[in-house]
Amino acid sequence: MYKPLPESLTIKQSGINGLGLFACQDINQATNLGVTHIKLDEKIIRTPLGGFINHANEPNCAKVELHANGTEPFRKKWNLVTLRDIKKGEEITLRYTFYDI
User: CATH number, domain at 47?
Assistant: 2.170.270.10
- Total domain count, the chain: 1
Could you read off the pLDDT of 88-98 as tens digits, one per residue? 999 999 998 76
Could you read off the pLDDT of 41-89 as tens digits, one per residue? 788 889 989 999 999 999 999 999 877 666 666 678 899 999 999 999 9
* DSSP labels, the chain: ---SS-TTEEEEE-SSSSEEEEESS-B-TT-EEEEEEEEETTEEEE-TGGGGPEE-SS-SEEEEEEEPPTTSSSSEEEEEEESS-B-TTPBPEE--SSS--
Task: State the pTM of this model.
Answer: 0.84
Q: What percent of the chain is modeled with pLDDT above 70?
A: 86
The mean pLDDT value for 14-33 works out to 96
Sign (positive/negative) of CA torsion 11, 86, 76, 54?
A: positive
Does a structural domain hold residue 80? yes
Does a structural domain hold residue 101? no
Does a structural domain hold residue 25? yes
What is the domain extent for residue 43? 9-94
